[in-house]
A = this chain, B = another copy of it.
Amino acid sequence: MSSTSASAHTYNGGSRQQGSSHRRRGMISMKDIANQAGVSIGTVSLVLNGKTENRVSQKTSEKVLQIAKELNYEPNAAAKTLKMRKSNTIGFLTDSIGSSPYAGTILLGAQDAARKLGYVLLMVNTNGDRRLEKQVLSVMRGYQPDGYIYALMFHQKVTVPSQLEGIPTVVVDGEDQRGLVPSYFPDEFSIGYDATTRLAQAGCQRIAYIGSPQGIVAEINRYEGYRQALADAGLEFDDHLVVHYEIEELGDNEAAAARHLISTVQPDGIFCFNDQRAAVVYDAARELGLAIGRDISIVGVDNEAIIASLLIPRLTTVELPHYAMGYQGVLRLVAQMDGVEALRPLVASDPYAATVLKQMDMQAVSLRCELLEKESVA
């Protein structure tokens, strides 16, 4: 908690920027345009919405457009929403903005897709608190978003709030428990498979897995991928090479645990559940005098920016598709709300759009993740 100081470094910039009076800035309306153009409001509406075909003369149309531009007209979303029962707004619900560095990337992807499709994001954080979630959701509903993105902090099974029932919704970085709500999440199995296979290709014979508490989806499937890759590479599975850390029970001893693992079972390659673990393994290996990328190969998951900047040699890692999940999630949502035709304008320039269109019949879509080759693998 930081207190506030009115120190020498606080200065007063002079006069107040704006009064608290509620002078309505001259938001100009169709009426203004109609007056200036000498036509009716209805005509202005037609023109501004491009519905002039056989209904408005070329000349009138041009005049209206011209004046609208001069006046810097911006349609009043509230009026439009009220009349159309469509807000062109997407509710973005998340449990984790602020607690995860990745939430922002999902949001960015969602935002970019929304913008291209003419939507704006109403953002709300639930802190993972069901009671708060219910409260904010009911406020949000008043704004009548046309659909919702329900974004999680990491891949897990979730129950979508009942208030969203019947409203178009897409789960991102998570999976609807009941399999009814379309969900976009990383292909965890392939992450484990690709990482392990890469290590096997590098000639590793004793590939360890440093995992996560068991039970969460990401852990279960990455581990499966690890085992399948071993089998496909003709390597025998060895129980001793696997550890599923409970973060809590480890505390400061994660480093010690890593050292212990390395020195006792002597792996020549390690697939780490995430980059953070990989960073700890770096330290452990170094203390044991092992050269990473030569004596021992390491692969992480996340491509976490800060860790990436710190580790030497650079870490080979599997990147999680946060941006893609947010982006495709919104594409899917809009297709659901407005029909697949809504995506057509994008499809020529945007490979994601084509992908999403192909998957409209799948409720659960796993995104393949890319292995980024650096120098931590021999």
Instruction: State the copy count for this chain.
Output: 2
Q: Which residues of B contact A74 (CB under 8 A)?
A: 138-139, 141-142
Q: Tell whether A310 pairs with B7 under 8 Å between CB atoms, given A13-B178, A168-B18, A363-B14.
A: no
A105: which B residues are within 8 A, CB to CB? 98
Comparing A19-27, A35-43, A198-206, A291-299, the segment that makes contact with chain B is A19-27
A108 touches B123 (CB 8 A): no
The chain B residue sitting closest to A169, CB to CB, is: B17
Query: A111 touching B124 by the CB < 8 A rule?
Result: yes
What are the nearest 8 A-B pairs in CB distance? A13-B179, A98-B108, A13-B363, A101-B101, A78-B81, A2-B321, A123-B123, A5-B368
Does A271 belong to the interface (CB within 8 Å)?
no
Instruction: Provide 18 A-B residue pairs closer than 8 Å at the C-beta atoms, listed in order of the A residue.
Output: A3-B368, A4-B355, A4-B365, A6-B359, A7-B187, A7-B190, A9-B187, A9-B189, A9-B190, A13-B363, A16-B361, A20-B336, A20-B337, A77-B144, A97-B104, A103-B104, A107-B125, A120-B140
| Binding-face segment, A207-215, A231-239, A259-267, A301-309 | A301-309
A242 within 8 A of B: no
Please tell me if A216 contacts chain B, counting CB pairs below 8 Å: no
Asked if A285 is at the interface of the complex by the 8 Å CB criterion, the answer is: no
Given contacts A11-B364, A143-B77, contact A182 B17 (CB under 8 A): yes
Question: Are A77 and B2 in touch, CB under 8 angstroms?
Answer: no
Segment 153-208 of A: residues with Cβ below 8 Å from B: 166-169, 176, 178-182, 187-190
B123 adjacent to A139 (CB under 8 Å): no
Asked if A376 is at the interface of the complex by the 8 Å CB criterion, the answer is no
Q: Tell me if A369 is interfacial: C-beta within 8 Å of chain B.
A: yes
Q: A192 to nearest B CB, angstroms?
A: 11
Residue in chain B with minimal CB distance to A323: B98
Q: Chain B residues near A12: list those with CB within 8 A.
A: 361-364
CA distance A186 to B18 in the complex (A): 24
- Give the one of A139, A166, A167, A182 with max B CB within 10 A: A139
Given A107-B97, A363-B13, A276:B306 Cβ within 8 A: yes
Q: How far is the CB of A127 from chain B (nearest CB, A)?
A: 8
Residues of B within 8 A of A141 (CB): 74
7 new A-B contacts at CB < 8 Å, known A78-B144, A120-B140, A121-B124: A2-B324, A4-B355, A17-B168, A74-B142, A98-B323, A111-B124, A276-B309
A10 at the interface (CB under 8 A from B): yes
A288 part of interface (Cβ distance < 8 Å):
no
Shortest C-beta distance, A176 to chain B (Å), equals 7
- Answer whether A180 and B14 are a contact pair too, CB < 8 Å, given A97-B111, A104-B100, A187-B7: yes
Say whether A136 faces chain B, with CB atoms less than 8 Å apart: yes
Distance (whole angstroms) from the CB of A275 to the closest CB of chain B: 9
Q: Is A252 an interface residue (CB 8 A)?
A: yes
Cβ contacts under 8 Å, A75 to chain B: 142
A76 interface hit (Cβ, 8 Å): yes
Question: Which residue on chain B has the smallest CB distance to residue A1?
Answer: B370
Contact status B190-A5, CB under 8 Å: yes
Q: Given A97-B111, A310-B279, A355-B4, does the pair A363, B17 have CB atoms closer than 8 Å?
A: yes
Closest to A79 in B: B82
Q: A87 an interface residue at 8 Å Cβ cutoff?
A: yes
Residue A339, interface by CB 8 Å = yes
Asked if A255 is at the interface (CB within 8 A of a chain B CB), the reply is yes
User: Given contacts A115-B136, A182-B17, A310-B280, is CB(A366)–CB(B7) below 8 Å?
Assistant: yes
Taking a contact as CB atoms under 8 Å apart, the answer to whether B10 and A362 are in contact is: yes
Cross-chain contact B306 with A142 (CB below 8 angstroms): no
